[in-house]
Amino acid sequence: MKPAVRKKTYNLDSRSIAAARRVFNAKTDTEAIQKALRKAVDDREIEDALDRLLREGRFRTIYR
């Protein structure tokens, strides 16, 4: 299923976008922003899943 695309206008720091383009090797600003947003969502989902595992006792934190 193709994601819904809406044309929006945002005021964003051009240096941040340039950094995101380098990090994600993106060809366009839009691609860089989409990848950065997806990464942020994925990271949060991973953090939430790890927190659930810790609460359930199925995973434990080990410090070395």
Query: How far is the C-alpha of 18 from the C-alpha of 45, rounded, in Å?
Result: 26
* pLDDT-above-90 percentage for the chain: 62
Q: What angle do CA 28, 44, 39 make, to 5 degrees?
A: 15
Which residues, in sequence order, are CB contacts of 20 under 8 Å at separation 6+? 26, 32, 33, 35, 36
Query: How far is the C-alpha of 28 from the C-alpha of 44, rounded, in Å?
Result: 25
To the nearest whole number, what is the mean pLDDT of the chain?
89
Confidence of residue 14 (pLDDT cuts 50, 70, 90): very high
pLDDT in tens, 30-55: 999 999 999 999 999 999 988 888 88
